[in-house]
Amino acid sequence: MSPEVRAKHDAAVRAGQDFYTDPETGLVVMTSLYLTRRGYCCGNICRHCPYDRGEE
């Protein structure tokens, strides 16, 4: 993950936002804050998934 993407995510989390726009792709991305509040892993390999998916 690029430093620019990491900075956008971190800023969104600090602001309490559930989503941010990826500066490289223009896509809307869920923050780890949102995924944690959702309460479960959906298995879609979300970029900021806070759950252990058993991957290495």
Q: CA dist 12 to 1, 17, 33, 43, Å?
A: 16, 5, 9, 23
pLDDT tens string 14-48: 999 999 999 999 999 999 999 999 999 999 989 99
Predicted model pTM? 0.84
Average the pLDDT over 11-16 and give the result: 97
